[in-house]
Amino acid sequence: MNNNLLLEKQLCFRLYSLNKLMCRLYAPVLKDLALTYPQYLVMMVLWQYKAGISVKDLGAKLDLDSGTLSPLLKRMEKQTLIKRERDTKDERVVLIKLTQKGIELQQSAEHIPAKMFAVTGLSPEKLQALNLTLDQLIDNLGD
Amino acid sequence: MNNNLLLEKQLCFRLYSLNKLMCRLYAPVLKDLALTYPQYLVMMVLWQYKAGISVKDLGAKLDLDSGTLSPLLKRMEKQTLIKRERDTKDERVVLIKLTQKGIELQQSAEHIPAKMFAVTGLSPEKLQALNLTLDQLIDNLGD
DNA sequence: CATAATTAGATTGTACGCAATACAATTGCA
DNA sequence: TGCAATTGTATTGCGTACAATCTAATTATG
Contact B131, B120 (CB under 8 A): no
How close B9 comes to chain A (CA, Å)? 9
Asked if the Cβ–Cβ distance from B134 to A15 is below 8 Å, we say yes
Nearest to B68 by CA among B60, B77, B59: B59
Chain A hits for B137, Cβ within 8 Å: 18, 120-122, 130
Residues in B 35-64 whose C-beta is less than 7 A from nucleic strand D are: 36-39, 63-64
Structure pTM? 0.96
Pairwise CA distance, residues B55 & B85, whole Å:
10
- Tens of pLDDT, residue by residue over A71-84, are 999 999 999 999 99
Instruction: Indicate yes or no: strand D within 7 A of the C-beta of A142.
Output: no
DSSP string, B36-105: -HHHHHHHHHHHH-TT-EEHHHHHHHHT--HHHHHHHHHHHHHTTSEEEEE-SS-TT-EEEEE-HHHHHH
Average pLDDT over residues B116-123: 97
B76, burial (CB in 10 Å: exposed 0-12, middle 13-18, buried 19+) = buried
- Tens of pLDDT, residue by residue over B41-78, are 999 999 999 999 999 999 999 999 999 999 999 999 99
Asked if the Cβ–Cβ distance from A113 to B9 is below 8 Å, we say yes
Nearest to A140 among B61, B121, B134 (CB): B121
Interface residue of B29, B112, B141, B143 to substitute, partner A, most A CBs within 10 Å: B141
Beta-strand relationship, B53-54 and B94-98? antiparallel
Check residue A142 and give its pLDDT.
Answer: 78
